[in-house]
Amino acid sequence: MKQLAETVINSYRSGTPVVIFDENECVLHGWETLETIVGARVSIQCLTIRGVNRQAFESTDMPEFCEAARRTWLEGTTN
């Protein structure tokens, strides 16, 4: 999970939102980004990460970490 955390934070720091899918293509993180894309009918460049083990993801602080990174990115305070 450490490598995933580094990838997520680096992506948000560079201004690119993240969407994470589990092995079954269910969203683990990034629902809001997907809703924005569909709702606004706009293309948004984002980092898509697939195949993450749901149990491993949810048994750590990764959900909270990803959400904190997303909120920081939205606030424009990632640098």
pLDDT reported for residue 30: 96
- Measured CA to CA, the distance from residue 2 to residue 4 in angstroms comes to 5
First to last CA, the chain: 23
Give the start-to-end residue ranges of the domains of the chain. 2-73
Task: Specify the pTM.
Answer: 0.91
Would you state the structure tokens that stand for residue 14, as one six-digit string?
A: 């560079």
Overall average pLDDT of the 37-60 stretch: 94
Overall average pLDDT of the 49-66 stretch: 97
Would you state the structure tokens that stand for residue 1, as one six-digit string?
A: 């999970």
pLDDT at 79 over 60: no
